Structure 1
């Protein structure tokens, strides 16, 4: 095992879309302190694939305040060694080498806060954003979360059932989907998240005149350039 990594067993694997899985880990109680984390942080994995060590980092989609086990989501990328391995080869009960959580793309919740969080995500970029949303909704009852989530089509929306359940449960959470290539009679927003589509969505759905607001963006490189 590489230095700095610990052996953590897989508790559950769930097929989220045709090319993405969520993987839940059973962190041993003796290591619980080392794997405490903040919403938005990531884990680094090491695996021997085709005889070579491969390391990749994946954000956690679970929230540290809701009692969930640590969970990541991985979308299979063409030619991606680790993403393909995690989507096709691992199984429940397997043990993976994982470093403790890291990262500064985090939410620091405060029970007295009254913030407006704008979360812009694309594809598997939803993973840290849903963690941030769940944490804010749990810990900051006076704050509002607005998620704008872009995907190829409706079948490629990761965590759609969970996101829709949050929207149904919390009046202070709103989700807006936009699809690049929708199927059938899609009535929502269309197109990739460009400056133009973000401006349109902000004008039609959100409004941006808030005294306290924080913005989080996570997605593919072209979206991050917006």
Structure 2
């Protein structure tokens, strides 16, 4: 997603709203009359958040969770989009009213345990399988210039048509991000024996790890085709 100031502001507001809702959910309980607090139920769905995105069509903020996709508005309770309660592990906005996602089908939904890559063109109300159904579980997704980047099974995978995938770097990562220019960054999974992200990379095509553009992250100027130590 583009890191525009307006988008950052909306995501920051969304984060504040989500944090408040989760605190309400955790603090809910029995009232003086013995009845359960109404505020302790609906916000619980946002206690397991996997991703955030802003739809450029209307600047609405979307929250991908363990139990469905929600919209959040300051001062209001979150609203489930459509009727899917799937576990949205990977999620990103690719255009106006258009998102891609991955994860696991909800119990009883009839969808596979790994949904592969799915796409919506109506802002999350309905979803269509595009590729890798029953096979892939992207834990991170991002896009730029019509190309989708995903992290799945310890590798970065890239697609320009949502159907065919090109496997790129193999590495352990926590998250993946792509700049509007198509430069990919990833956050390495910390290990005791691993060098710090700022260490020198002994590679003929060493990733450019500029802390100004990708602070604390490995950065690849070649569309995720290189990795630390490759």
Fold in common (TM above 0.5):
no
Q: Which has the higher helix share?
A: 1
* Structure of higher CA gyration radius: 2
Highest RCO, 1 vs 2 (Cα 8 Å, sep ≥ 6): 1
TM-score, normalised to structure 2, is 0.25
